[in-house]
Structure 1
């Protein structure tokens, strides 16, 4: 039995949510059960009430707004607790075509991918302006390079995730999960693919960011943090070597004048060079410490994964133990009635 849960992070989506829910699939090849989950991220309107009236199976509500990354994280945790084999994340604003969920789920159902991203074909998408197209292409290139993947639409939130991948990914950013998740998945050697999807024109401005410069800043910080987390030794040792090489220039200048008999007036070059060499050594040392911390993180994540699977087995065993007792009680009540 394959269970799919479609999760939708929401913030004041009472008006757009019904149209989005109406377009979600009820049947998909290779999937036995489809359920819906809404993450109400501190909405001030009746988003949760609309979800209940439309028969949404699961509702997670934050008492105040925590941001998209936290909403995504809460949804994943609930989907795993509800026994989802595949999780699909989509938006509530109708940007994505609900029928295309079957397309992004197919590679996961077939066992060909752990994660499948809906590719909006940014370069040809008529709903994106030229500036946004350029930013999306540059950003996707950076993420593709740093994550060692071949995904051309890195910030697409329309994605399908296998249960195993969802258990292995630990979102650490407070902004947007998209790039953080891809860099993690690539560095953890999960199988990632993408399929072309359809999109619709935006019905409202983005609630994730207030301006393009703000989005670039936040995304850049997220990418840098995620990459450094998994490549700390390379980053810090590289920076340390750069500082060391720069420090060698003024030291070489001082030595040139010193052996030329004119070293007295150039001691400042020796001081600056020595300071840069010291900084280089310290930064490289930080890289070694950061790498040790990263190794510890891997061990912790491995233990978390084992604990999650042990909990699942215990829950399944408890369900199997209580099921016969529940049937006997029901049969007793039927006979008594």
Structure 2
């Protein structure tokens, strides 16, 4: 039995949610059960009421708005607890074509991927303006380099995740899960692929960010944070070497003037160069310490994964328990 749960993070989506739900598939080849999960991220309208009237199977509610990343993570947690073998995330604004969920899940059903990203074809998408196309392409390029995953549309929220991959993911950012998740998955060597999907024009502006500069800043911080978390030695030592190398330049300048017999008037070069070299060494030492912390984080993640898998096994034993326990208990009573 293969269960698919389609999760939809929502914030005041009472008007757009019915159309989004109407486009979701009710049957997919290779999927036995399809259920729908709504994550209400502090809506002040009737989003939950609309969802229930449309027969949504699961609802997760936040009393206050906690952000898209938190909504995504809580949705994944609920989907796993509800027995999902595959989790598909889509938006409530109707941007993505719901029927293309069948395309998203195929690589997972075939065992070819752990995560599948819906590629909106940003370069040629008529629903994106020229500036947004360039911005999306630049962001996807940076994420490809950081995650080592060949993905053309890194910030697409239309994605399918296997149960095993979902158990390995823990979103740490408070802004958006898209880039954080891909960098994590790439560094954990999960199989990531993408499939072309259709999109629709959206009538309302994004609720994730209020301006393009703010989006760029938040996304940049998220990518830098995720990369540093999983590559602390390279990030800190690389920065330390750059700063230290820059510090060599004024030091050489000071040495040059000393050799010319005019060193007393250029002490500032010695001070600046020495300071930069000390900062470089400190950054390298921080990199070593951060790498030790990262090693400990890997142990914690391994333990967390084993706990999640053990919880699945216990849940399976509980479902089969009434038929098995008496058969095991009977020989013990005879031996007594």
Give the TM interval when normalised to the shorter protein: over 0.9
Partner of 2:3: 3
SS at match of 2:193: strand
Partner of 1:319: 319
TM-score normalised to structure 1 length: 0.95
CA distance in 2 between counterparts of 1:230 and 1:268 reads: 38
Partner of 2:333: none
Answer whether contact 1:94 1:203 (CA < 8 A) is retained.
no
Could you tell me how far 1:323 is from its partner in structure 2? 6.7
Could you tell me how far 1:203 is from its partner in structure 2? 2.2
Map 1:4-153 onto structure 2 (within 5 A). Answer: 4-153=4-153
TM-score normalised to structure 2 length: 0.95
Runs of 4+ in structure 1 over 3 Å off: 322-325
Could you tell me how far 1:258 is from its partner in structure 2? 1.1
CA distance in 1 between counterparts of 2:261 and 2:206 reads: 66
SS at match of 2:219: helix
CA distance in 1 between counterparts of 2:110 and 2:266 reads: 69
Partner of 1:262: 262
CA distance in 2 between counterparts of 1:251 and 1:198 reads: 58
Q: Deviations over 1:177-222 (max 9, x none)?
A: 0000001111100000000000000121100000111100100000
Q: How many residues of Structure 1 are paired with residues of Structure 2 in the alignment?
A: 325
SS at match of 2:217: helix
Partner of 2:289: 289
Change beyond 3 A, Cα 1:291–1:309: same
CA distance in 1 between counterparts of 2:120 and 2:267 reads: 59
SS at match of 2:165: helix
Could you tell me how far 1:244 is from its partner in structure 2? 1.0
SS at match of 1:39: strand
CA distance in 1 between counterparts of 2:323 and 2:219 reads: 48
Q: Structure 1 stretch 253-262 or stretch 216-225: which is displaced more?
A: 253-262
Which runs of 5 or more structure 1 residues have no equivalent in the other structure? 326-337
CA distance in 1 between counterparts of 2:267 and 2:11 reads: 62
Answer whether contact 1:118 1:156 (CA < 8 A) is retained.
yes
Which runs of 5 or more structure 2 residues have no equivalent in the other structure? 326-336
Q: Deviations over 1:260-317 (max 9, x none)?
A: 2221111221111111111111010000011111111111000000011111111111
Could you tell me how far 1:105 is from its partner in structure 2? 0.6
